[in-house]
Chain A
């Protein structure tokens, strides 16, 4: 790694110091983010009788927690699928609605803009604990209990404001000359937006999507309250139902294993998408 960076440097000494600093920084970030996660991973690989162990490596390594997580009786696979549906639909819907709204906020002139933005953010402020009972009553009345929409629609309450605000700032950063040039070239406003702004704002849109998806993926209280059939529960709800052999035991190992199982797909997904988006970006810039 260092060899390749050295060959391209013009001022080796300074560069090297700079690179050294950079890698030290990267290492710090990685350690900061991953050390606790490492602990989670290690704990998930211990036998349930070793959970109080504080050694840095599990000895012996045991996959009993993972077999327990994927025990068909837990229905965890189904729960992951449900989470994927709920978080996926929430993200797509929130991003779609938010894109329109954010475009209007960033590019159009109209009255009450601040008021609307403030209203939108205000809606994401009410504690979930307090909206869950009224929502439950509402959804019971209209027969939405045990449906995906009963989880997706309330998730919009936090996903949508987040998406609108983020996208607004990213769209605003796009130079409007490009868009205007495209319109002069004969694009409609919609085309200009789709072909110029969206690709340019891709990092922002993508980041917003990840953050929205994760927020929805991890939602617990609403998902717990709106479902009572095991085949409808989401992953966080399923995790809350992990038990030890008796009431008193905390199935810490299984919970950590479940945490790992819930987190890793997200990271892999991000990795895959990221490649594509970064590639798309550079391709666009080359034109």
Chain B
């Protein structure tokens, strides 16, 4: 990676110097073009909305509603594969060919920086969106270098699912706030006759994006960071090590079942529903499934535990952005406003159980009746720390997965893994 850029150094240097000159002479003080003002959004007419395939059947009716109101600015729904990598690949291919086929893109929250830096999406006029009413960490995921490049559409946060019946029997009154409390509770449960053969805790530890989520959560919950506030990697710290050690140690002492290194979301959910787990870290979607399973009425949710107190979750969800190569951007902007309105996101919550970006919806009693987990989820999202917001996110998450998985499977010590990770991240981010 380093040598590859050697040839590029002279030109990069010229660019940097050029940039400095610009800022020196320019009066705006707005920095380089990265902080340039929002693009102009002109042109009205038919556009497309590009997102993962939707089987809940809620998106198309929303679009239909828009189309009825705007017969001359019709939106076509282009549905991409379910797999996030495939979605990203299609969007990048569209950008690489500078095609105007895609107008409004539904981006995973971790793609914002990459798409913004490549100028595949336009900077948006911040003032036109009710960002103040949205949860703050969610809005952060839509920004790149202080510029707004997307608008939050849905969010997601991790929660701790736990078995109320088992905890009660074991005499544990409240869900654990720390990892130590969680292990204690497990020890008590496992002494019960019903607790035989029940594993303690699981999350998503297969080598995939879910591991990045769980690793970041462990590090953040122990007071560490993956990347600092300035975006620089800072993961080779005692705090981060305590976070990783929690996962590694738990796998070693059996708190986390060995097979959890092959777990994706669904595997953990299945184990929990079959009564094989006391605690499970997972997304809100599990709630309604578990309500229909054998553990119906025997579980509840709590914020994730941490080292010395409540932990912090990573963030999921999608943001809407406008493709730079699209036509009819004025329509696109209006459509984004429509899709991200409180009304639309409430519909999505009600009918597709997508977590909304608006704070007020989490306090709505009617919605809480429908989704009892909403207050916990709000807490989880408010306290959340997003995964690293870096341009080469693909490389960063790959490095995290590689080193964390090596530590979890015991082929590296956690200290070595973090050291290697720090070096890798520095290389990626510096590129």
Residues of A within 8 A of B (CB): 49, 52, 73, 132-133, 136-137, 140, 145, 224-225, 228-230, 237, 240-251
Contact = CB atoms under 8 A, between A and B. Distances in A.
A248 B354 CA distance: 12
Interface string B48-86: 000011111100000000000000000000111111101
Interface stretch (B34-42, B90-98, B118-126): B90-98
Given A136-B93, A230-B79, A240 B86 contact: yes
Given A136-B97, A224-B90, A240 B265 contact: no
Given A224-B90, A228-B101, A240-B81, A248 B55 contact: no
A67 to B, nearest CB: 13
B266 A250 contact: yes
Interface in B292-332: 292-293
Interface in B266-297: 266, 269-270, 274, 283, 285, 292-293
Interface residues of B, number: 33
A88 B356 CA distance: 46
B341 interface: no
Given A73-B57, A137-B97, A243-B52, A225 B90 contact: yes
B94 to A, nearest CB: 8
A248 B355 CA distance: 14
9 contacts: A224-B86, A228-B78, A241-B82, A242-B53, A243-B54, A245-B56, A246-B56, A246-B283, A250-B266
A49 B97 contact: no
B40 to A, nearest CB: 25
Given A133-B96, A250-B264, 15 more contacts: A140-B99, A224-B81, A225-B90, A228-B101, A228-B102, A230-B79, A241-B82, A242-B53, A242-B55, A243-B54, A243-B82, A246-B285, A248-B264, A249-B265, A251-B82
Interface of B: 52-57, 78-84, 86, 90, 93, 96-97, 99, 101-102, 264-266, 269-270, 274, 283, 285, 292-293, 352-353
B52 A246 contact: no
A241 B80 contact: yes
Chain B interface helix/strand/loop/mixed: loop
A217 B408 CA distance: 41
A251 to B, nearest CB: 8
B81 A241 contact: yes
Given A49-B292, A224-B86, A249-B266, A244 B97 contact: no
A240 B293 contact: no
Given A49-B292, A224-B90, A241-B82, A246 B96 contact: no
A230 B102 CA distance: 14
A133 B93 contact: yes
Contacts of A145: 99, 101
A49 B291 CA distance: 12
Kindly list the 10 A-B residue pairs having the minimum CB-CB distance in the complex, ordered from nearest.
Answer: A240-B81, A241-B53, A248-B265, A246-B285, A243-B82, A243-B55, A140-B97, A52-B270, A243-B53, A228-B78
Contacts of A73: 55, 57
B266 A248 contact: yes
Contacts of A241: 53, 79-82
B57 A240 contact: no
A4 B216 CA distance: 70
Contacts of B78: 228-229
A240 B82 contact: yes
Nearest to B284: A246
Contacts of A137: 96-97
Nearest to A230: B79
B45 to A, nearest CB: 18
B285 to A, nearest CB: 4
A131 to B, nearest CB: 13
Contacts of B90: 224-225, 228
Contacts of B266: 248-250
Contacts of A246: 56, 283, 285, 352-353
Nearest to B288: A245
Could you say which of B56, B81, B90, B352 has the most chain A C-beta atoms within 10 Å of its C-beta?
A: B81
B283 A248 contact: yes
Contact of A244 (B55, B57, B93): B55
Contacts of B83: 240
A248 B353 CA distance: 13
Contacts of B269: 248
A136 B96 CA distance: 9
B285 A248 contact: yes
B283 A245 contact: no
Nearest to A48: B289
Nearest to B316: A247
Contacts of B53: 241-243
A127 B99 CA distance: 24
A272 B86 CA distance: 37
A241 B81 CA distance: 4
